[in-house]
Structure 1
Amino acid sequence: MNARFAGIGAWLHARAENLLAAMLAVMFTVFILQIFFRYVVNFPVGWTHEISVIMWLWMVLFGTAFVVRDNEEIRFDILYSAVSDRWRRVLVVASAVMLIVLFGISLPAVIDYVMFMKVEKTAYLKIRFDWLYSIYAIFAVATIVRQFWLGYQAIWGKGTEEYDPTKVSSGV
């Protein structure tokens, strides 16, 4: 059963990477269009800037929530690599608890604000801001779930991998 869930998880992760790549392609294409309209046609358009900003916002939050793996996250390398496996697990649990509490406290206000923003729309494309900023609420929930999982793993078994900053890769 675990192999089946792992396969489904790997497939979902690959689709999230595909979606992130598509967002990057859209942002790049619109950026090139913006340059073309402004400097070649001499007709600056605002919708290209709007799409670029929207894609950047969604890429950062969606990517952090669903694509970036835990071992690719930023860490305090000097402290993290200097302690034993037991203390690394303590640091993971402490940071997980702190993030769960902070995101948990802010989540009701985040959802309330996102829902309130349905009254506003973007200037050019008229996209409702609640749809636009909904990615932050999704990011917050995904972060809480991820931190629960990391804390659970650190407490009940799986220690963090031995960290070697000389072997950091690009994730490929």
Structure 2
Amino acid sequence: MSVMRLLSRFADGVAAGLLAAIFVAFIFQIALRYLFNWPVGWTTEVSLVAWLWLVLWGAAFVLKDQEEIRIDFISANVGTRWRIGMGLLGSACMVVLFGMQLPAAYDYVTFMKVERSSYLNTGFDVIFSVFILFSVAMIVRHLWNIGQLLRGRLPAEASPEQKSSAL
């Protein structure tokens, strides 16, 4: 099995684990509140932190290019050269913008080590560190897209089955 396949399976597993943590915390919260009349706050905090990590982790490492939502009414009606050009422009903008915000995001995340969550007593630097992973992953993904586009390869497009199921 290739390294990329193993990394992809690991990323999927982390996302599944986060989704399971949200579900278990939610069910646990309902049981404690309504069966035992014992409302607790830590279950909400677990759900919120897991949701934050799930969204950013999933967008960075699980979601594939062809699964992203795109507004392609312009690029769908132009030739391959124009689509490559638009792809290069879009990916270059993403690299520049994520690159520009990365130092400030890092400063903010490291600054947040002074704050801790209410119930879990976890540093906000740990909680928000997923945004740094997300930012770096977006930069790497769009640099890879630029490389592919410069070789004349368009990013993978949705298959006809995926397009028809999205309608």
The normalised TM-score by structure 2 is 0.92
Query: 1:81–1:164: 8 Å Cα contact kept in structure 2?
Result: no
Which whole-Å deviations, capped at 9, do the CAs of 1:12-36 have from their partners, x for residues lacking one? 1011101110110111010011111
Q: CA shift at 1:84, angstroms? A: 1.9
Given candidates 16, 19, 23, the residue that maps to 2:14 is: 19
Q: CA shift at 1:77, angstroms? A: 2.8
Query: 1:81–1:163: 8 Å Cα contact kept in structure 2?
Result: no
CA distance in 2, matches of 1:162, 1:118: 41
Q: Structure 2 counterpart of 1:126, which letter?
A: N
Task: Name the CA shift for 1:14/1:97 in 2 (closer, same or farther; >3 Å).
Answer: same
Matched with 1:58 is: 53
Q: Runs of 5+ in structure 2 lacking a partner?
A: none
Matched with 1:91 is: 86
Given candidates 133, 148, 153, the residue that maps to 1:138 is: 133
CA distance in 2, matches of 1:122, 1:138: 20
For the residue of structure 2 that corresponds to 1:77, the secondary structure is coil
CA distance in 2, matches of 1:93, 1:99: 10
CA distance in 1, matches of 2:79, 2:118: 53
CA distance in 2, matches of 1:15, 1:149: 21
1:38-77 paired onto structure 2 within 5 Å = 38-77=33-72
Q: Structure 2 counterpart of 1:124, which letter?
A: Y
Task: Name the CA shift for 1:161/1:140 in 2 (closer, same or farther; >3 Å).
Answer: closer
Query: 1:86–1:159: 8 Å Cα contact kept in structure 2?
Result: no
The normalised TM-score by structure 1 is 0.89
CA distance in 2, matches of 1:112, 1:169: 44
Given candidates 9, 14, 27, the residue that maps to 2:4 is: 9
Q: CA shift at 1:74, angstroms? A: 1.5
Task: Name the CA shift for 1:163/1:51 in 2 (closer, same or farther; >3 Å).
Answer: closer
Moved >2 Å (runs of 4+) = 159-170
Given candidates 120, 124, 133, the residue that maps to 2:119 is: 124
Q: CA shift at 1:167, angstroms? A: 3.5
Task: Name the CA shift for 1:85/1:10 in 2 (closer, same or farther; >3 Å).
Answer: same
Q: Structure 2 counterpart of 1:157, which letter?
A: G
Query: 1:20–1:63: 8 Å Cα contact kept in structure 2?
Result: yes
Q: Percent identity?
A: 44
Matched with 2:149 is: 154
For the residue of structure 1 that corresponds to 2:121, the secondary structure is coil
Q: Runs of 5+ in structure 1 lacking a partner?
A: none
Matched with 2:77 is: 82
Matched with 2:104 is: 109
Q: Structure 2 counterpart of 1:128, which letter?
A: G
